[in-house]
Amino acid sequence: EESRKTSERVKWGQKRQMEQGVVFGRSMLGYDVKDGKMTVNEEGAKIVRLIFHKFANENKGTHVIARELREAGITPMRVKEWSNTVILRVIRNEKYCGDLVQKKTFTPDFLSHEKKYNRGEEEFVIIKDHHEPIVSRELFEKANRILDEKSLTQEGKAKHSNRYPFSGKIKCGCCGSSYVARYKNRNNGTRYKAWRCYKSATQGSPHTDKAGNPLGCSNPSIRNEDAVHIMYLVTRSLQLEEKKITANLLSVIQSVLSVNTDYSHIEKLKEQIQTVEDKRTQLIDLCISGAITKQEFITKREACDKEISELQDTISGIDQQHLLADQQESVMKEITAAIHEIVSGVEYEDAFYSQILERMVVQSKDAVDVYLNLLPIKWSYAVAKASKGVLDPKSGISETEIPISVNIARSSG
């Protein structure tokens, strides 16, 4: 209780100081923070102005800006090297136009003192024109409008690589780097996803730096729809025992749906959750009394949270299983149709492609090699230069516009 009261007093005092303009934080690129005041560091301010100019006025991307700063030998502050995320943080930081926003993080637990990002749980302290700006408000707002527009056009874009079926699986045949996802503009204004060699994306075309080290890569990018269509053709060309595969999968699914789980088991799981919650509550008393240290409290509490989460997931899974069992007949019809379409290569299915694809190697814009998991076979695709359309039957492109030949050969691997 004493810890809680002390925490509340400290928070109240800090907030009053923040409202009076006292800066809580450390020095950053372009600003020195001392005794709660921000002063411009001209050496860092030049770099900040350069970043905003390149992005807003020269229309350069964050990856390109990071690469140019690295090659120019400009040392970043508090990070190992320049990256697109570092550039994004600079462009989004309102301090550079003179505004101050504090309480971006908060401490919900007065015992563990663990900080969390403020997602609206507590009120921000915002002061406009608080200190000397490094860039004009007009330039700052222009740069952030550009970022917002890009974010809107990429709405729904996956944040983590495992959301993309080809992440980490498309390799460069020239330098060996992995291909990374990028978005590009078509002439009609629409955007599409493409995969580009990481070395080419971060270092540009082949060249040498000041020290004479070779940088960059010349291998071309590959559109995501092209990669998906290649996998579609591979699946369609596989000599699979469709009836046997379908029957095996359906028998497994049928056995799962037919399991009659005892509802009393759910009640036992709920009782276990209540027991763990009681145990978690007791930990606070043990920590306050000094029976356990704060670190022991944090470790044991995290273990309790994990156990509760796992038990809740188990209950959720059982509920879902009961729901499926109640709708078994209609569910089995849908599953049967879906399996048939996937196995026969009729339907595009990213998750299926992800499972059977070992790697796709882009040798050039005219040649892509595809290696499959569990099969000692390599498909080599010679992609004709004349192909200009989107390689996707759903887009309306005719089959004659997809000049891809398939050569099957045993893999030496």
Q: Give the model confidence (pLDDT) of 27-56 as tens digits.
A: 889 999 888 888 999 999 999 999 999 999
Q: Classify each residue of 13-33 as buried b or exposed e, where b means 16 or more C-beta atoms within 10 Å of its C-beta.
A: eebeebeeeebeeeebbbbee
Count of CB atoms within 10 A of residue 62's CB? 22
State the greatest distance between any 2 C-alpha atoms of the chain, in Å, as a whole number. Answer: 78
Contact 222, 240 (CB under 8 A): no
The angle that helices 328-343 and 242-257 make with each other, rounded to 10 degrees, is: 150
pLDDT per residue over 59-75, tens digit each? 888 888 988 898 888 88
Q: Find the mean pLDDT for residues 105-114.
A: 64
Dist. CA 361–CA 222, nearest whole Å: 11
pLDDT per residue over 277-293, tens digit each? 888 888 888 888 888 88
Contact 402, 391 (CB under 8 A): yes
> Which pLDDT belongs to residue 395?
37
> Which pLDDT belongs to residue 48?
94
Band the pLDDT of 350: cuts 50, 70, 90.
Answer: low
> In this model, does residue 192 exceed pLDDT 60?
yes
Structural tokens at position 62: 């964050």
DSSP state letter for 75: P
First to last CA, the chain: 65
CATH architecture of the domain with range 2-148: Alpha-Beta Complex (3.90)
**Region of residue 167 (phi > 0: left; psi between -120 and 50: alpha; otherwise: beta):** beta
